[in-house]
Chain A
Amino acid sequence: MKIFLSLLSLMVLSSCGIKDMANEARENLRKTGNAVHLQVLTTALQQMLSPVNTESLTPPVRMFPFGDTFAREGTPIEILEVYHTFLLDVKLGGSTNKSRPTSRDLRLASRKISLAAAGVISSFTSQDKFESILNSQIELGGRYEDTAYIICLTRYTYLRDFFLSSIIEKSDRVNLDSVKKAAEYFSQLKYIANLSYLDRIVLHIPQFVVVEPAETEVQPKEEVLEDLDISINPQEYKLIARKAIRRFERDEKLRDLLHNTAEGQALLNVFQ
């Protein structure tokens, strides 16, 4: 009996040790996982904002891979918080030049980079995460409700001007695979254009757009700054759809595929 009790107590004691070790290992794994997660986010942000990747902003293609990584790795709330920070910089950054700000003003350049970063992150965010942001902030009234509206606008603008246009305006050849991608971008655009609160999606940024000197006789030969005011035209996506179909149908082989196969018809229906 004594031996049995000794063995039992030994087993209990050793199992407690194993349990502790397992918990510790799990905690270490969690910490490591978190550290890797944060490292991926930090590196992606650092790279996205590095001078070499922010030289050209029309379009900011060098920021794209890092924006993509950030948006894939980040949770909806992490994406939203970083986006909010960029937006604060864009809107409240102002100018360090107390006289007349010009494009030579480095603050303006920095604000433009922040807006580009916001555009890149919002456009690479998956539809699921995007909808989660809208649900938590707009439907349920979250801390970043104002920011969530602007996310819609930058996402819409970037999807339209860079992602979709790269297929329907800039590509020499369009095939079924690119039509699939265009359909995905278009669905995302259409989703935003049909939001019930579209009238609240408005962006106003004071002193932001540099106006290049136009006619010498009319304007002083000096750059001036204008406010940026942007909203979404609810009918625009219909024009974009027609433009896309015109582009697809320009290619005879693709036109046949789209009209004479079930897959093609389904893709065309996305643009109807």
Chain B
Amino acid sequence: MKKMSLLVTCSFFLAQSLIASVAEFKGAVKTVDISGKAVKVYSNLTLTTANGPTQLKLTGYGIRQKSVGFVKLNIYLATSYIDEETILSPSNPIDSLKNAKGRVIVLDLLRTLTAADIRTSFEEALDINAVDVNSKAIQSIFSKFTGDLKEGDRILLASYPGERSLETLVIELPKTTIQETANLLGLDFWKIWFGEPVDALMGELKSKLTGGSK
């Protein structure tokens, strides 16, 4: 009977650890209404990692739009958080993010996308920022990007530092979680939103994420 109870308890914790997100939202909540779709934006979150819990604050949020054949499409609402001690510089955000103890970006999808769409757009933004998209860690991440993502789905990216310049990147997708550790991996991914913008509309989002909207 004791064994049975232990097994049930272990299974419960294992299941919880598989389901639970590394981020727990808290603080003041604001409902953002985008063309009739309501998305909640929280002022703070707790990032729980191997380093323990880290308190993060909202830096900004904005809509990623893409111009396709002269039409602007809403792709996702991006919300950015960094640890409370780091001060994000709007003029040089990547430099100011270098020593962050925790970073989170939440992407709430405003339209249905394929994993290939996301992979291609991430690759393009990494490429323009001189990040080696053929590196083992990045290829490993992309190989796990599969399936379609529906409007309303959420992608959460979290990164935190390890020893020396190693950084762990966690990507939570609706059905799977991807985790990789590599040299400055998190910072490289943050260049998608805070580095050289891939187009003018990404530039507009960058200014919102660095404090344009709170």
Report the Cα distance A88→B116, complex, angstroms: 38
The 14 listed contacts between A and B (C-beta, < 8 Å) are A57-B69, A119-B70, A157-B69, A162-B68, A162-B69, A168-B120, A172-B116, A212-B34, A213-B34, A214-B34, A215-B33, A239-B127, A243-B123, A247-B120
Cβ < 8 Å to B, chain A residues 151-182: 157-158, 161-162, 168-170, 172
Hey, which chain A residues are within 8 Å of B74, CB to CB? 212
Hey, which chain B residues are within 8 Å of A119, CB to CB? 69-70
Report the Cα distance A209→B35, complex, angstroms: 15
Task: Say which residue of B35, B63, B116, B120 sits within 8 Å of A243 (CB atoms).
Answer: B120
How many Å from the CB of B113 to the closest CB on chain A? 11
- B residues near A (Cβ < 8 Å) are 30-35, 63, 68-74, 116-117, 120, 123-124, 127-128, 133, 213
Report the Cα distance A169→B213, complex, angstroms: 31
How many Å from the CB of A257 to the closest CB on chain B? 19
Hey, which chain A residues are within 8 Å of B69, CB to CB? 57-60, 116, 119, 157-158, 161-162
Cβ < 8 Å to B, chain A residues 135-149: none
Name, among A57, A59, A212, A242, the residue most crowded by chain B CB atoms within 10 Å (CB to CB): A212
Q: Which of A27-35, A92-100, A216-224 contacts B (4 or more CB under 8 A)?
A: A216-224
Report the Cα distance A213→B72, complex, angstroms: 12
| Contact status B32-A216, CB under 8 Å | yes
Is residue A36 within 8 Å, beta carbon to beta carbon, of the partner chain? no
Hey, which chain B residues are within 8 Å of A58, CB to CB? 68-69, 71, 73
| Contact status B70-A59, CB under 8 Å | no
| Contact status A246-B63, CB under 8 Å | no
- A residues near B (Cβ < 8 Å) are 57-60, 115-116, 119, 157-158, 161-162, 168-170, 172, 209, 211-218, 221, 228, 230, 239, 242-243, 246-247
Hey, which chain B residues are within 8 Å of A115, CB to CB? 70
Hey, which chain B residues are within 8 Å of A209, CB to CB? 70-72
| Contact status A230-B70, CB under 8 Å | yes
Report the Cα distance A246→B134, complex, angstroms: 9
Report the Cα distance A213→B110, complex, angstroms: 13
How many Å from the CB of A258 to the closest CB on chain B? 16
3 smallest A-B Cβ distances: which pairs? A216-B33, A161-B69, A212-B35
Task: Say which residue of B32, B68, B127 sits within 8 Å of A242 (CB atoms).
Answer: B127
Residue of B with least CB distance to A171: B116
Q: A59-B69, A212-B74 are in contact. Are A217 and B127 (CB under 8 A)?
A: no
Hey, which chain B residues are within 8 Å of A57, CB to CB? 69, 71
Residue of A with least CB distance to B68: A161
New A-B contacts (7) at CB < 8 Å, excluding given A161-B68, A239-B124, A243-B124: A57-B71, A212-B34, A213-B33, A217-B30, A217-B32, A230-B70, A242-B127
Hey, which chain A residues are within 8 Å of B123, CB to CB? 243, 246
Hey, which chain A residues are within 8 Å of B70, CB to CB? 115, 119, 157, 209, 228, 230
How many Å from the CB of A56 to the closest CB on chain B? 11
Report the Cα distance A169→B124, complex, angstroms: 11
Report the Cα distance A161→B33, complex, angstroms: 28
Q: A157-B70, A243-B124 are in contact. Are A169 and B34 (CB under 8 A)?
A: no
